[in-house]
Copies of this chain bind each other. A is one copy, B any other.
Amino acid sequence: MIDDLRLHGSLIGRAAARAQLNTPVLVIDRDALDRNLAQMAAFARGHGIALRPHAKTHKSVDVARRQLAAGAIGVCCAKLGEAEALADGGIAQLLITSPVVAEPAIRRLAELHRRTGALMVVVDHPASAAALAAAVDAGRPLDVLIDIDPGLHRTGVASPAAALALVEQVRALPGLRYRGVQMYCGMEQHIARFADREAAIRDRTQYLRSVLALLAEHQASPEIVTGAGTGSHRIDAALGLYTEWQVGSYVFMDRQYADCELGDGAAFDYALFVDAGVVSANHPGIATIDAGFKALATDGGPPVIVSGAPAGATYRFMGDEHGLITDPAGHHVWRPGDRVCLAVPHCDPTVNLYDSYHVVSGDTLEAIWPVSARGRSR
């Protein structure tokens, strides 16, 4: 981040600065970001659903502030280190959506809770609940959600009975305060056809309904039911079970979600780009750019070429540092130094490769924002 300020700080506020940035560079289109923030906020408000957007996507104090300003009740973090980084930036209302279980991590969590006073965390195992309760001050209990496995077997309790048992344990522990449940359908978010995704989410929601029914029978109904993602929020709105949503990718969009039908009226714009430069162009119809495995996450396939190449041109990863752009017609001639703009394939792990966002409006560089929690995976 300091390097980026030294390199590009003098360009802030300048028109046409975007073309002067050293490449590869992670760019936010601020106008598109603002539209995405406003659209999701309005849709959730219209359905009476609270928003607790997932900060694992952006890892940014600046973006989190804008989400809160648009009405979010807090933000989610995937990891404790992420929550620490956001708390350092003044973001107080934090939910950690993955269990925190190791002894050194629980010590840090208790410290963060002392500092912010508003921490919430999920649990999915009796041993972890006991360890958390032992670590926090009983006078200032820690808010806890029961994480429910939607069938993915990633995290979460494995049955309605296990959910109830954990609720009862948490209620009996003086250091913890039972607030609700979390169920995140991670496997279903990227089902390409809307109708298929709707059927899958409906099925998982039926399972969540059975968990809630058992809890209600035992006077343990949750105040908070949290979950949902960019891929499912329109479906979840119709099913009406969640009290709040953890949507993440909508702020930036990416090629993976652009490949999915998000549902009627959902029209998020690409707001996150990697501007790359041509470093080699010795053959007609192809060019090598300076963005490979270290500039774009590879788990989501190739990026979309937004500009700098003829229509229909494709990107192929060419190792750690490079990518190959191919003109399907075979004759476009690039020159070293030409610029190619890419919409990212999968936003979350791509963001995690960069120290900073370069925020533009048109071609004017408006700001450089740190990726506050970059690399904070623990």
Contacts and interface: CB of A to CB of B under 8 A. Distances in A.
Nearest to A25: B378
A378 B290 contact: yes
B324 A24 contact: no
Contact of A375 (B282, B293, B353): B353
Chain A interface bracket (under 10, 10 to 19, 20 to 34, 35 or more): 35 or more
A29 interface: no
Given A22-B104, A279-B98, A324 B293 contact: no
A155 B288 contact: yes
A273 to B, nearest CB: 15
Nearest to A352: B294
Given A3-B376, A154-B318, A377-B295, A125 B324 contact: no
Interface in A1-19: 3
Contacts of A337: 101-103
Contacts of A152: 318
A231 interface: no
B295 A297 contact: no
A349 interface: yes
B375 A355 contact: yes
Contact of A280 (B156, B282, B375): B156
Interface string A180-207: 0000001000000000000000000000
A293 B299 CA distance: 7
A233 to B, nearest CB: 18
A52 interface: no
Contacts of A43: none
Contacts of A318: 152, 154
Interface centre among A128, A298, A321, by most B CB within 10 Å?
Answer: A321
A322 interface: yes
Contacts of A324: 153-154
A79 to B, nearest CB: 6
Contacts of A56: 320-321
Of all A-B residue pairs in the complex, the 7 with the closest CB atoms, nearest first, are A101-B336, A155-B280, A293-B349, A298-B299, A22-B378, A158-B282, A78-B321
